[in-house]
Amino acid sequence: MISIRQVTKVYPNGVRALSGLNLEVKQGEFVFIVGPSGAGKSTLMKLLYRAEVPTAGGVVISGVDIGKLSMRNLPKLRQRIGVVFQDYKLLNDRSVYENVAFALKIIGTAKAEMHHRVRSSLDLVGLRDFADALPGELSGGQQQRVCLARAIVNTPPLLIADEPTGNLDPETSWEIMRLLTKINLHGTTVVVATHNKLVVDNMRRRVLTIDGGKLVQDQARGVYSVGVH
Amino acid sequence: MARSAWMSWLVIVTIAVSLSILGGFWLVVQDLRTVSHQVGAKVPIAVFLSDDADPKGVELAIRELPDIESVKLITKEQAWKEMQQDMRSRMTFDTLLDANPLPNTFSVQTKSPDATPAVAERIAKLQGVEDIQYGADLLKKLSEFSGFIRAAGLVISGILGVASLAIIMNTIRLAVMARRREIEIMHLVGASNAFIAWPFLLEGMLFGLFGAMLTGAALVSWRYFTFAKWQELFPFVPMQLDFVSTAQVLTYLTVIGMGLGAVGSALSVRKHIRHAMAD
């Protein structure tokens, strides 16, 4: 599903975020990416949905080297990858329903089909009754669930979550993780970058540890075990 | 919101001013063309014959030329009598001259005013024709004037067009900036650039459309006003309030205005959507 080969990313300001990173993620896997701040987690996530392009090496998703993708084909990639952000990235002047429907509207989904999919997506994240609410009226956990609903509404094969629980309390974090697991069970490959030791240690999933821009540990049923953390 | 409404008005009015000036010049040029045609059609070619020429022969030669509508002979006796009548109060011809000094004259009407110069030239070369006269000078002056107006109109409208474009671009830039977050999210969930740019292009085109509508109101009222002026200037030309040509010009202006809006916002969106992404 994901194959990262010898990827180096140097930002224009000279910061070397990743150097010669290699990793593989199989279809249907649930993977945590952990590591201290500045280890390169966020950069790796951005490379996956191509908010950044690698300075060297290849990021291959489903057989396509997305670093070489033309601007014209970029939307097609993004439509096949659901992304969950730490800061939710919701439109605050649109209802929950409209925020979720947004991802379908841009690919020209028919109204009836859209309605059906948005409903089931909101059902999955438990926000059926909040369809008409504005994001500002929701708690952080609820907003993150809206973001999740939007990410999965067009059933992408890959879901990427960058610090999805970064702004949430432990209980709410568990709720989000439970949902990510549920989505994974439906066959979606899930990659989660996180700082949340508690969550990682209790989930016993594959854990990839990144430090200094390199993969330093790959545990099949791992725990969060970097440095002082 | 109030701020953006004010901005929108500024854009629309700027477009309207540019289009009105372009349209105003355009209509004047059209009117001048109409006047030229009318004048050309009205003014016949006067053909003066030498005294030894045979009027019948010349008339036949003229009738053989293309584009001749009618040929009317005014004999020297007729012309003399008319002139004496016209000037009776001022002088007595009986004592002044004993011979009629006027030549036999043909009044030649061409089928179209455009043909007049060519026909006149050929008539002038005919045997027995001493001199000809037609509204060449007037037509030439009209055509020169019309050319000048057209050039001035194009230059002024061009400058105003560039100014409108700059204002459209800036307004769309602000609109893009205001919706930066939305654009970023659109990009992230996989919206194509075309999908994102489309509403901005539409906004630009709407500016153009509303600008053209204002222009329409301005030009139609201006038309009523100038019509009277034209009649004063060219009382011998029967004119009609020509709303067909006004409507035609307005159609072109609408297309130009919407094109201007679309181009302005396309340029702006192209430049600033990337910026919105980079942040």
Interface of A with B in 101-140 (CB under 8 A): 102-103, 106-107
Q: Kindly report the number of other CB atoms within 10 A of residue B279's CB atom.
A: 8
Q: What angle do CA A166, A171, A174 make, to 5 degrees?
A: 70
Q: Does A79 touch chain B (CB under 8 A)?
A: yes
List, for residues A11-34, the tens digit of each pLDDT value: 999 899 999 999 999 999 999 999
For B182, which residue in chain A has the nearest alpha carbon? A91
A145 band by pLDDT with thresholds 50, 70 and 90: very high
Q: Which two tokens stand for residue A215?
A: 């993969």
Q: Quick check: B181 and A51 CB within 8 A?
A: no
Q: What is the pLDDT of residue B279?
A: 42
Give the A:B interface size as CB pairs under 8 Å. 41
Provide the β-strand partners of residue A218.
A208
Q: Collapsing DSSP states into helix, strand and coil, what is residue A193?
A: strand
Which of A48, A66, A89, A143 to substitute to test the interface with B, most B CBs within 10 Å? Answer: A89
Q: Quick check: B191 and A76 CB within 8 A?
A: no
Q: Does A78 touch chain B (CB under 8 A)?
A: yes
Q: What is the pLDDT of residue B3?
A: 59
Q: What is the pLDDT of residue A27?
A: 94
Provide the β-strand partners of residue A64.
A61
Q: What is the pLDDT of residue B10?
A: 87
Measured between beta carbons, the chain A residues lying within 8 angstroms of B193 are 71, 75
Q: Kindly report the number of other CB atoms within 10 A of residue A72's CB atom.
A: 10
Which of B189, B274, B279 to substitute to test the interface with A, most A CBs within 10 Å? Answer: B189
Q: What is the pLDDT of residue A162?
A: 92
ipTM: 0.82
Q: Each residue's pLDDT tens digit in chain B (279 positions)?
A: 455 788 888 889 989 998 988 888 888 888 777 777 776 666 778 888 888 888 888 888 888 888 888 888 888 888 877 777 776 666 665 666 667 778 888 888 888 767 777 888 888 888 888 888 877 677 778 778 888 888 888 898 889 889 888 988 888 888 888 888 888 888 888 888 888 899 999 999 999 999 999 999 998 888 877 777 767 776 666 566 566 678 888 899 999 999 999 999 998 888 877 655 544
Measured between beta carbons, the chain A residues lying within 8 angstroms of B181 are 89, 91
Q: Does A46 touch chain B (CB under 8 A)?
A: no
List, for residues A98-137, the tens digit of each pLDDT value: 999 999 998 888 999 999 999 999 999 999 999 999 999 9
Q: What is the pLDDT of residue B98?
A: 65
Measured between beta carbons, the chain B residues lying within 8 angstroms of A156 are none
List, for residues A158-210, the tens digit of each pLDDT value: 999 999 988 888 888 998 999 999 999 999 999 999 988 888 888 889 999 99
DSSP B132-168: EE-THHHHHHHHHHHHHHHHHHHHHHHHHHHHHHHHH
Q: Does B274 touch chain A (CB under 8 A)?
A: no
Q: Does B185 touch chain A (CB under 8 A)?
A: yes
Q: Quick check: B189 and A103 CB within 8 A?
A: yes
Q: Does B188 touch chain A (CB under 8 A)?
A: yes
Q: What is the mean pLDDT of chain A?
A: 90
Q: Note the pTM of the prediction, 2 decimals.
A: 0.69
**For residue B245, how far is the Cα from the chain centroid?**
9
Residues 6+ apart with CB under 8 A from B116: B40, B43, B45, B110, B134, B135, B136, B139
Secondary element (H or E) of residue B208: helix B193-233
Please tell me what DSSP assigns to residue A106.
T
- For A135-160, what is the mean pLDDT? 93
Burial annotation A117-145 (CB, 10 A radius, 16+ → b, else e):
bbeebbebbebeebbeebbeebeebbbbb
Secondary element (H or E) of residue A208: strand A206-211
pLDDT at A138 > cutoff 50: yes
SS3 percent helix, strand, coil of chain A, rounded to 5, is 35, 25, 40
Residue B25, sorted as left (phi over 0), alpha (psi -120 to 50) or beta, turns out to be: alpha
Are residues A133 and A64 in contact, defined by beta-carbon separation less than 8 angstroms? no
Which of A84, A102, A109 to substitute to test the interface with B, most B CBs within 10 Å? Answer: A102
Q: What is the pLDDT of residue B132?
A: 84
